[in-house]
């Protein structure tokens, strides 16, 4: 196997200049020659005959490196030529022989993965450390600008800023409807920046699929549009295409989260693993929304994260029982409307660095939220509208104002106006009708119990 690039005195650095370097030898990939040749055989078995250029795109490795394997597989009579589409070996059409098909089927009994060549676990660990969210810096101005679309107390901003900048764990608590989820998602966007994420990771011959289009947004427009082949041909040597250039990930999980989802998910048919949520969030932010509403006790979930929170390393288990460490390099945000002391003991809360309560809006903040919601919907704001809601509903029923109420009330009001074929404007009768269907006319005692006993 020839090495196309002389090794420098310090050895091959897969991450020179802050980007993953294109591998030009089998040693550079960190994978064994047999692993890569089996991957190539499975690729041709699944996709059929392909040119060298097409194989380059499917495996995300340079053709000169792949050509070594093609020659070896031809020598072993596992591949044969079916023709050519142009000049040079990259234009040759390669197909499996009968012997090659048999070999491909054999390999699929243990690993059926077909896709971009993975990166080895050791390389992934190193790369996570280099791209750690702890290296990102967030200024006071960034926090103020980032959260300016929400109406928040300045004192709350002074608590949120250091929490985001620290890239440590955050516990947002308070009544529902006051913007905890919105704050958490905005915190994630404020970190900003981008990173390189491997499509898949190899661990002892097994493959973990890491890239998830639900949570990972490519920076490159061609890749986002599914035209990565053109991107690869245009600039084949800019970075290792086994990685995808993505925005820092934001992974949001809610009540559906289970203990099983925090470990590797093994696909029996494909014989590959799906990485858990926290691994997909490495380099970015993991938001656990509605914490305490999951199908498992919150203490069990939190105990699962004690070691990762303290040591920034997690342990996953293959279906064979083998455990191995992976980085836990994400900012984790818990958001809940359940009182913290009803969820976990104080010993665990100590391990969460920032505990921040998100209060409901005061009168001035409520009016500003109402004004902004009117502006977003093309309505003329009138101060009499929130005054009417306070008088007829909050004060009469003993209900605490929430940040989500103006938006919801206005949506109800517009629905009623549309049904009645009335003008889209703030009118006393429409506001009363909207609030009556929204607040359900609870008794004062019931309303106070719902709001934690506050009047």
- In a shared domain, residues 291 and 166: yes
248 inside domain = yes
**Is 225 a residue whose pLDDT tops 80?**
no
The pTM for the full model equals 0.81
pLDDT, residue 65, reads 93
Please give the pLDDT value at position 125.
94
Sign of CA dihedral 156, 159, 164, 169: negative
- Residue 118: predicted pLDDT: 97
Domain membership of residue 11 (yes or no) is no
For the chain, the straight-line distance linking the first and the last C-alpha, in angstroms and rounded, comes to: 77
What number is the average pLDDT over the span 105-114? 93
Model confidence at 123, pLDDT cuts 50, 70, 90, reads very high
pLDDT by residue (tens digit) across 289-321?
888 777 778 778 877 887 888 888 999 999 888
pLDDT of residue 237: 54
Q: How many structural domains are present in the chain?
A: 3
Domain assignment present for 89: yes
Pairwise CA distance, residues 119 & 406, whole Å: 50
**What φ, ψ does residue 380 adopt, rounded to 5°?**
-80, 120
Instruction: Indicate which CATH number applies to the domain containing 294.
Output: 3.40.50.300
| Residues 140 and 215 both lie in one domain | yes
Structure-model confidence comparison of residues 309 and 223, the more confident one? 309
The alpha carbon torsion through 150, 154, 158, 161 (nearest 10 deg) reads 20
Domain boundary among 56, 79, 114: 114
Q: Is residue 276 part of a domain?
A: yes
Across all residues in the chain, what is the average pLDDT?
Answer: 86
Residues 406, 275: one domain? Answer: no
200 vs 171 pLDDT, higher one: 200
Are 170 and 314 in a shared domain?
Answer: yes
pLDDT greater than 50 at residue 445: no
Q: Which of 303, 324, 357 is the last residue before a domain boundary?
A: 357
Residues in CB range of 237: below 8 A, 6 or more apart? 22, 62
- Residue 114's pLDDT band (cuts 50, 70, 90): very high
Q: Report the distance separating Cα 19 and Cα 133, nearest Å.
A: 16
Residues 93, 150, single domain; the answer is: no
Residue 120 forms part of a structural domain: no
* Domain end call among 357, 390, 407: 357
> Looking at the structure, do residues 285 and 403 belong to the same domain, yes or no?
no
> Has residue 206 got a pLDDT over 60?
yes
Choose the weakest-confidence range: 59-68, 75-84, 220-229, 412-421. 220-229
In terms of domains, do 350 and 429 share one?
no
pLDDT of residue 164: 87
Q: Per-residue pLDDT tens for 263-279?
A: 999 998 889 999 999 99
Q: What percent of the chain has a predicted confidence (pLDDT) above 70?
A: 89
Note whether residue 119 is domain-resident.
no
Residue 455 binned pLDDT confidence (cut-offs 50, 70, 90):
very low
Question: Which of 453 and 149 is assigned the larger pLDDT?
Answer: 149
Structural domain for 377, as ranges: 363-450
188 shares its domain with 306? yes
Residues 248 and 142 in one domain: yes
> Above 70 in pLDDT, residue 436?
yes
pLDDT band at 228 (very low <50, low <70, confident <90, very high): very low
353 and 369 belong to one structural domain = no
pLDDT at 86: 86
160 and 302 housed in the same domain: yes
Give residue 3's pLDDT.
35
Q: Answer whether residue 125 is part of any domain.
A: no
b (16+ CB within 10 A) / e for 226-262: eebeebbeeeeeebbbbbbbbbbbbbbbeeebeeeeb
Residue 75, class by beta-carbon neighbours within 10 Å (0-12 exposed, 13-18 middle, 19+ buried)?
exposed
pLDDT band at 230 (very low <50, low <70, confident <90, very high): very low
Does 6 fall in a domain? no
Q: Which residue has the higher pLDDT, 433 or 291?
A: 433
Asked if residue 320 and residue 236 are part of one domain, the reply reads yes
Spatial distance between the Cα atoms of 233 and 328, rounded to a whole number of angstroms? 34
Q: What is the pLDDT of residue 16?
A: 67
């Amino acid at each position: 196997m020839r090495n196309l690039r002389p090794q420098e005195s310090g050895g091959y650095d897969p991450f020179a200049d802050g980007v993953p370097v294109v591998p030009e030898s089998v040693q550079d990939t960190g994978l064994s020659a047999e692993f890569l040749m089996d991957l190539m055989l499975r690729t041709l078995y699944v996709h059929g005959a392909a040119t060298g250029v097409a194989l380059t795109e499917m495996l995300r490795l340079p053709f000169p490196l792949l050509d070594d394997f093609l020659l070896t597989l031809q020598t072993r009579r596992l591949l044969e030529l079916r023709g050519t589409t142009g000049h040079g070996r990259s234009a040759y059409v390669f197909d499996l022989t009968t012997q090659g098909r048999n070999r491909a089927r054999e390999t699929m009994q243990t690993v059926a993965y077909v896709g971009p060549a993975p990166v080895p676990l050791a390389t992934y660990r190193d790369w996570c450390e280099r791209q750690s969210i702890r290296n990102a810096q967030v200024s006071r101005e960034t926090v103020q600008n980032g959260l300016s679309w929400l109406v928040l107390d300045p004192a709350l901003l002074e608590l949120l800023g250091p929490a985001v900048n620290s890239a440590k764990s955050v516990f947002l608590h308070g009544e529902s409807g006051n913007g905890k989820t919105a704050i958490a998602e905005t915190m994630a966007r404020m970190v900003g920046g981008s990173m390189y994420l491997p499509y898949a990771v190899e661990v002892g011959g097994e493959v973990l699929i890491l890239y998830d289009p639900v949570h990972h947004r490519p920076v490159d427009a061609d890749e986002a549009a599914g035209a990565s082949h053109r991107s690869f041909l245009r600039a084949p040597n800019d970075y290792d295409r086994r990685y995808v250039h993505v925005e820092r990930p934001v992974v949001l999980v809610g009540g559906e989260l289970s203990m099983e989802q925090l470990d590797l998910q093994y696909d029996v048919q494909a014989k590959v693993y799906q990485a858990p949520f926290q691994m997909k969030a490495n380099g970015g932010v993991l938001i656990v929304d509605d914490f305490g509403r999951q199908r498992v006790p919150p203490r069990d979930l939190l105990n699962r994260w004690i070691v990762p929170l303290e040591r920034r390393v997690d342990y996953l288990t293959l279906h064979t029982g083998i455990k191995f460490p992976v980085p836990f390099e994400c900012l984790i945000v818990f958001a809940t409307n359940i009182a913290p002391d009803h969820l976990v003991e104080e010993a665990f809360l100590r391990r969460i660095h920032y505990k921040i309560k998100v209060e409901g809006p005061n009168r001035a903040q409520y009016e500003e939220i109402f004004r902004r919601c009117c502006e977003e919907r093309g309505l003329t704001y009138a101060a009499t509208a929130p005054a009417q809601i306070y008088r007829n509903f909050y004060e009469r029923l003993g209900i605490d104002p929430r940040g989500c109420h103006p938006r919801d009330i206005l949506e109800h009001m517009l629905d009623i106006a549309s049904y009645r074929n009335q003008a889209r404007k703030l009118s006393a009768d429409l506001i009363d009708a909207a609030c009556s269907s929204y607040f359900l006319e609870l008794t004062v005692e019931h309303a106070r119990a719902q709001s934690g006993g506050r009047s």
